[in-house]
Structure 1
């Protein structure tokens, strides 16, 4: 499919938040309605597994089903509105220099590592592990059942002619980013994918940069 890209005019020097998420690590933050959030793929082709929750009602969360249905498209990109489990707008992608992001591949786990790769990969660190570690101290009020199907920013998961999924080399590059405007108060949960078996990150997990700007 064709992709559409558009750069942002926002200056990182004016950001109210500027954080590096190390390779393979989890991270959480809050966003206020109207703030703009950017994820930067610093070294290229790093999968960033991400979930969003309504900070005022954690039972309302990002929904892949509602988002795909509303956009009539499987992939996220410029202009996509990320929808919640209550069919309400959560974020709008306002700038994107990568052009396409995955909604279907899900988070790697010990089970998926076993199925996709080999039995001995079962115990390798995974995004599911990261999500569990991030919410373990209950600082944001999230629990295991709240971890639902996530977005994989910068990840390339084409759908085959027979309806299957393949995990391919990424289409991102160093410095590419996606930028979103929060349409409600949000909790952001990120796993900067630790997987060493996935071609989407060149078998080399790398850091990403997260920035936010206050509402104009």
Structure 2
């Protein structure tokens, strides 16, 4: 799935970052100490109105959790990225973000001006800082992914964060199927019940992916994923730069979504 890893960095606890990744690249996240949470959102850098769509991602793959083999959809029926490897087996895509009032109430208010690296950042403000760099704002927030966070429900549907679900060294790897603006933060999950602010760093590796093969597990998980790949191929047909690999034969007889 990975041809090479060409860049490595570390996202500090409570930190946030954004970058544009080209189709055909990979991003691998590592929970360095255990118990991390990585909030993530996707946007099309050529049309920022197109962004990650959690409901479509879940319903078209008949799942509540995200793991290896799943694709991450835009609201235009295209695939931003595929989960090509995952050592944990469960990541949250329904619980959203922590916010300033919630974090201050649970762990106390600390700002960067006074606490520096010991401050208590929240996921919503972390995303808003990154969105502002691209002329976007609160109205452009969507339901986000929470990597390394497993959520369970009880008999009446109440959700809770499962403690210890992500041990140190847990990894998840994404292969990008579109040029994508990626926003991410290392702020606490909104359901985290910890007594103290959960400061967890995350390792980030970037590199190149191997071409998508006809037997690719993400491509062949379901008919909807094959249509998503076909939608991507149509999107890039006629673009100034060529599609990076031949369209798999499995897509030959599929019609792109017309919605």
Whether these two folds match at TM > 0.5 is yes
Describe the SS at the equivalent of 2:152.
coil
Q: Within 5 Å, which residues of 2 pair with 1:197-212?
A: 198-199=192-193, 203-212=197-206
Equivalent-residue separation in structure 1 for 2:30 and 2:106 (angstroms): 31
Equivalent-residue separation in structure 1 for 2:103 and 2:10 (angstroms): 26
Equivalent-residue separation in structure 2 for 1:62 and 1:180 (angstroms): 14
Where does structure 2 lack aligned partners over 5 or more consecutive residues? 112-119, 211-259
Equivalent position to 1:28, from 3, 13, 18: 18
Equivalent position to 1:188, from 156, 171, 182: 182
Describe the SS at the equivalent of 1:133.
helix
Partner of residue 79, structure 1:
69
Where does structure 1 lack aligned partners over 5 or more consecutive residues? 1-7
Describe the SS at the equivalent of 2:48.
coil
CA contact under 8 A between 1:104 and 1:157: conserved in structure 2?
no
CA contact under 8 A between 1:156 and 1:200: conserved in structure 2?
no
Give the CA RMSD over aligned residues: 2.7
Partner of residue 19, structure 1:
9
Describe the SS at the equivalent of 1:60.
strand
TM-score of the superposition, structure 2-length normalised? 0.70
Count of aligned positions = 202
Equivalent position to 2:131, from 128, 135, 151: 135
TM-score of the superposition, structure 1-length normalised? 0.83
Equivalent position to 2:157, from 159, 163, 179: 163
Tell me which of the two structures has the higher relative contact order, counting C-alpha pairs closer than 8 angstroms and 6 or more residues apart.
1
1:63 is the counterpart of 2:48: no
Deviations, residues 42-89 of structure 1 (Å, cap 9, x unaligned):
111101111111122111111110011111111000101111111221
Deviations, residues 157-204 of structure 1 (Å, cap 9, x unaligned):
212221221123141111111001111000110111157982479853
- Structure 1 position 205, deviation (Å): 1.4
1:46/1:134 CA distance change after superposition, 3 Å:
same
Deviations, residues 12-56 of structure 1 (Å, cap 9, x unaligned):
xx4222121111111111110111111111111101111111122
Deviations, residues 129-156 of structure 1 (Å, cap 9, x unaligned):
11112233x2x34322211110000012
Equivalent-residue separation in structure 2 for 1:174 and 1:91 (angstroms): 24
